[in-house]
Structure 1
Amino acid sequence: MTARRTRPAPHHEGRLTVRYIDGRRHETRAELAARHSLSPNTLSRYWAARDTNGHPPAVRIERTLHWPSREFDQWLGGLQAEGAATTQPTPKPEGMGGPAEFARICGHSTTHTVMDWVHNPPQGFPAPDHWHELPSGRKRPYWQPERMTAWAEHGRGPRGQGKGNPGRPRSQPHPYAGDPRLALARQVLAENPGATTTDLVRLMVQRYPEHYSKAAWTSILTTARQHPTEE
């Protein structure tokens, strides 16, 4: 696509000389780059690929390429939206827990052990129910709360520790033992015997002063149902 030559009358806006052709404002590559917070090199690459990306045509004014501002803005917006759609990571699953939540259920302070189980799964370790793609391209595993809790209570550790949570102190009878959130879950269950998990989670979120994920509260509810009293 060849740039069209023209010589419009300049219009002065303060210190900036703005050029109009047929009533349409035109800007140079440097002006467009500055206004859109992009580098001129990026715009040069867009222009070089104009045969395939639909880049608006340019006009040459005094040996310098100019583009119609409005058409360029619309084109760039569409290009960026299309790029965002193609690189959008998979949505984070609702109601599931990631490595951090799995680690907390198992009584670990870091996710190192959980991730080691993911990459070198011991017998019976639950495979992730979902992989969430991060903007970096890496993938993070997620599990249903009941599967995390089941492993924490009945899983077998990589060193053959037998029943019970591999890595949780033997003095801890079940996940969240002694946790005030578990006490709240038991109270809410007793007060609302017919409520759904979603309603119970909402009640606990409203009552508890600190923020925790829905997956965390769902796991705590599961434990509260399995252990309605302290043993």
Structure 2
Amino acid sequence: MITIEGRAVLSRQDIHTTYGYATSALERWWSERDANGHPPAILLNRTMYWDQEAWEQWDHWRLNPESQGLAGRATLCKELGISVRTFDRLWRARATNGHPSFIRRLGRVMYWHHDQYVQWYRDLQPAEPQPRRGRPAGRRNDPAGYAYEGDPRLALARQVIADHPDARTTDLVQILQDRTHHTWARSTWMHILKSARQHPEG
């Protein structure tokens, strides 16, 4: 083990010998450094070295990723009460729903900033949904008003239509399901969209 500018540094062989990690694992972590935050290397005489303190701090984070304000999918799903399937749908729809980008990735596991993700998720949800107001779909002679009148889902559908005026109904349904975490069936959103188009103003 040597020092550079007064700081202890580690070669890959030093890390292998001192910490017992397989060389193949060390090479993989280095190759994935853009995603996992691996410390930068110092090249000396054609050998790469890493600052010992920086590397140990990174390795501590790698072993305890959620100790630095980050959270993985399993933790976020449990805390927010959503399924992995819903989480994955929200991630796939990130181009339209503003889903946060992951901060770090270890192998195939991604980690997000915990507080940022929780706030985004809460902001994504519409006001606490109340079941329909007015008359239900299909009861044409009911004096209570048009279908879903006063229902917050109708206001959300109107907004989505305004934001995506050229989108197909099936695409609008998908957006609405993503925003509300698939709380309601596709057929329900079809009825709500129909009412929103028939009654564009609340």
Shared topology, TM-score over 0.5?
no
> Given the two structures, how large is their TM-score scaled by the length of structure 1?
0.33
More helix by share: 2
Structure with greater Cα Rg: 1
